[in-house]
Structure 1
């Protein structure tokens, strides 16, 4: 048992914070919010599988632009209470985290790329470039071994990437390794669903030619699915659901928020990419501890100020400039309408 396991599942030493480790539900202890939260996002599992990769497999991963995944830190615990708190603050249309009226953080696809280092290409996964015939999909499934029951397709992908692959392997074996790797990391980290060892694979067209995988915008695909997950969480909270099964890469929100708020001595400079590699279990716990507090009995994660734009690497300074311009034009329009009234 490692140090993190010995410490248990609670993040930041707070006994009122609810955490679910790798999709396993724990007991709630927060008297103010008895909503149970679960998630299938599992960085730990992906890292454990990748640790067995040799140099050639790592090279194959780099060839398709997913080398950022090779930098994932081993982390078994994600504070789902924090993820849910942030997701409830997200405005989907404007792609913003609205902490309050004065503190608004805009995020973009480029920010997802900066955090995870996955391709942000020009081809659209769900667009025309990703169209594919059903016969081709069936051939790919059969080659990988997914032509049987789809109930555990992530396990099938995992089994394939653990096979022996070398320079002497056939091209189709190498291609299938790369295809299976994308399915594996999408299903466990970048765009997880809510079911055990299963995800809906609607991106076969982006995998059909392994040489073109890096040209697709996987950041867009992951963020779009994350926005759907946000809307689902917000709806279920509004409906006072007893249990919420969280999907999407909500870890993005945690890293993005912690990297953009003032945490004093825990503020990091941003010369290292992808950013996720800087957030090992110890660092993540420390930053969450520093951020977490209660205001009037309500749990919050942003007590202090937002960091100045010139101290972070993210695109929010550019986006905020555009946002302010749009708001200014809207105000002028409203003022003109008011002046025109009899």
Structure 2
């Protein structure tokens, strides 16, 4: 079974319940992040900029996004890496157009498109007890889950007249924001783990000061998850799975596809297919 052949090129109004042989599922949600961003105070926006995630403040509102097109895009990722351990960047990644042309994809591309830090320290490893304890402290000693971090992000809305944030509140807010955007937008996991945060980033949040958070390569972390997703989808297609589980920042691939269609390095085949999703 070929994902390219089975999915074809569906329109933005396609629905998974329309009788397609292959179902596509993901937890990616740009709107979840947009909802939080819309409610940020000027002080909270400045804090987000200070930790290097200011690009996400400009995230555009999107309507319904075509999951079959996303599955097609993931299937166009070409990676030299197979199974990668957490924290291992792996080989180069390319976005193919299905007609022989390949566009290199780098962490720098992620940085420029999404506006997240591209520091020198790698992101992504199994958390130590100390990492987990530090994150729990930042969240008020609560169990780290996506509902909890969203609640932390909204705490000050109930106390708007308390004045400037304390350092403890700033640390808590910064940790909660990064966990929230990682779980919903930058590197959401495959479907089926809706409330879990990305524990593999705990080590990068142990010291939530802006000078520390910006030192990590969050852009490469986004690329890592897309690489893992591409490997997993390739295996799911090879195994003839009726359900494709996507993960990672799918919107980045859509933007990259559009930008690639404008580049002379990419073939006209992708150009024609990409533009219909941006008109």
Normalising TM by the smaller chain, what interval? Answer: 0.7 to 0.9
Would the aligned equivalents of 1:190 and 1:249 in 2 still touch at CA under 8 Å? yes
In the aligned structure 2, how far is the partner of 1:13 from the partner of 1:36?
Answer: 13
Alpha carbons of structure 1 residues 206 and 104: separation in structure 2 relative to 1, 3 Å? same
TM-score, structure 1 normalization: 0.65
Gaps of 5+ in 1: 1-11, 20-25, 264-284, 291-342
In the aligned structure 2, how far is the partner of 1:227 from the partner of 1:234?
Answer: 11
In structure 1, the partner of 2:76 is 89
In the aligned structure 2, how far is the partner of 1:224 from the partner of 1:168?
Answer: 37
In structure 1, the partner of 2:106 is 108
In the aligned structure 2, how far is the partner of 1:201 from the partner of 1:216?
Answer: 15
Alpha carbons of structure 1 residues 69 and 45: separation in structure 2 relative to 1, 3 Å? same
Deviates more, 1:154-163 or 1:168-177: 168-177
Report the Cα offset of residue 61 of structure 1. 0.4
In structure 2, the partner of 1:68 is 55
Report the Cα offset of residue 146 of structure 1. 6.2
Q: 1:28 aligns with which of 15, 18, 36?
A: 18
In structure 2, the partner of 1:322 is none
Report the Cα offset of residue 187 of structure 1. 0.6
In the aligned structure 2, how far is the partner of 1:50 from the partner of 1:216?
Answer: 22
Higher Rg = 1
In the aligned structure 2, how far is the partner of 1:60 from the partner of 1:289?
Answer: 32
* Count of aligned pairs between the two proteins: 242
In the aligned structure 2, how far is the partner of 1:35 from the partner of 1:226?
Answer: 20
Alpha carbons of structure 1 residues 90 and 171: separation in structure 2 relative to 1, 3 Å? same
Q: 1:137 aligns with which of 127, 132, 135?
A: 132
Does structure 1 residue 243 correspond to structure 2 residue 243? yes
Report the Cα offset of residue 171 of structure 1. 0.9
- For the aligned residue pairs, the C-alpha RMSD in angstroms reads 2.6
In the aligned structure 2, how far is the partner of 1:176 from the partner of 1:116?
Answer: 23
Gaps of 5+ in 2: 1-8, 81-91, 264-273
TM-score, structure 2 normalization: 0.78
Q: Indicate the structure whose relative CO is greater, using CA pairs within 8 Å and at least 6 residues apart.
A: 2
